[in-house]
Amino acid sequence: MFLVFIYLANPQYFEKIIVHFLKVASLIVKRLDKTYVERDIKCLVGDSVKSLNKYFPIATRGIKVLWVESDTLEGYLDRGFVVVRMKYHKNRPRNIARALIAYIPHILPSEVGAVIETDLLLAVSCIVATGMAKKEPEIVRQIYEAVDVRFKDGLKGKNLLGKLGEIDDESLFSRILLPEITRACLDAYPKKPIELHDEIMKLVDMLHTLVKGEPLEKPILKGKYVNLALVRVAKPEKILLDPELGMHLNFARHCQTRALYILAAGYNAKLASKLTKRIAKELKFKIDFEDVYKAKYKGRLTDIYCGRLSC
């Protein structure tokens, strides 16, 4: 009743009180929202970092967001934290997406960011970020929007991002591509050799051809920095004629690469594990990891086997 009396007695004064109240409330909400952005990213990153660490080194670093008035978006390391400078926006998914894009390069080994080309690093960061935010479709959409405008070569960047996305559909991005990029960068650092980028792009094309289900004539890459072969247990007619996988073993023997990836889908996953153990025993390779997981293969969700051996 008292407020009603004030409004009737002096409506202009009452309106000023409401405006000031809303201003203070909006500042409080804005402050809380900024805090939630940092906490949301910590939650998104937490479990993802643990799973990625199985295949290549990735740092667990906190994040601090420095809110600025300019449209600047950048990240840098400071006392063990990744500091992200960015402008606040009322759209929380947009804030989180942009912060992730600036954050991701600084949890990868520093040699990766120092050696690979900018657009490749941006595309890699995008796939890592979308993997972390996969349960939040609006954040994923905003990640792609944020990346799209940052490519130096927009057409090539989008094409590369499309390939990485399809490779990630079969979860080969985190198990093969990014670990091999990391190893190659560690070997090349501090140089930026031309052949490094060429070898990485050849691996991208090889894996993209594989996941598209197209014929892969020579699944071997004997580069200076990327040196591996893909051994696919994927031909039923060959397996029927050769149940002990001797032909696959001979192929692995003649590859003469530093690493072998054994791949299979569906029922062949069990046979692939058997092949991995034979290669380790008979060819004296070390088993780095073996995984059986659910992923898309030729448009269907099925068991996928991926194992890595190194000599």
- The pLDDT assigned to 23 comes to 44
**Do 210 and 249 belong to one domain?**
no
Assess whether 262 and 159 both reside in one domain: no
Would 249 be classed as within a structural domain?
Answer: yes
- Both 207 and 254 in one domain: the answer is no
Q: What is the pLDDT of residues 128-141, one digit of tens each?
A: 999 999 999 999 99
Q: Return the number of other C-beta atoms located less than 10 Å from residue 5's C-beta.
A: 10
Q: How many domains does the chain have?
A: 2
d(Cα 236, Cα 245) in Å, to the nearest integer?
11
61-81 pLDDT, tens per residue? 888 999 999 988 999 999 989
Domain identity same for 79 and 38: yes
| Residues 175 and 58 placed together within one structural domain of the fold | yes
Report how far residue 258's alpha carbon sits from residue 311's, in angstroms, rounded to the nearest whole number: 6
pLDDT in tens, 191-231: 999 999 999 999 999 999 999 988 888 899 999 999 999 99
Contact 143, 270 (CB under 8 A): no
Same-domain status, 39 and 138: yes
For residue 67, the cross-strand partners are 86
Give a yes or no: residue 311 inside a domain.
yes
The segments of the chain whose pLDDT lies below 70 read 1-29, 235-238, 240-241
Pick the last residue of a domain from 158, 188, 215. 215
240 in the same domain as 149: no
Distances (CA, A) of 301 to 89, 159, 171, 200, 265: 38, 25, 12, 28, 10
What range defines the domain where residue 124 resides? 30-215
Predicted local confidence at residue 8, as pLDDT: 52
Residue 119 C-beta-side C-alpha neighbours within 13 Å: 17
Question: What's the predicted TM-score (pTM) here?
Answer: 0.86
Neighbouring C-beta atoms of residue 32, cutoff 10 Å = 10
**Are 52 and 158 members of one domain?**
yes
Per-residue pLDDT at 9: 56
d(CA 44, CA 133): 6
Identify the pLDDT of residue 300. Answer: 83
| pLDDT of amino acid 304 | 93
Query: Are 46 and 181 contained in the same domain?
Result: yes
Q: Are residues 238 and 190 in the same domain?
A: no
The domain that contains 298 carries what CATH number? 3.30.110.20
Q: Are residues 59 and 198 in the same domain?
A: yes
Q: Give dist(CA 102, CA 84) in Å, integer.
A: 6
Q: Cis omega (within 30 of 0) on the bond before 190?
A: yes
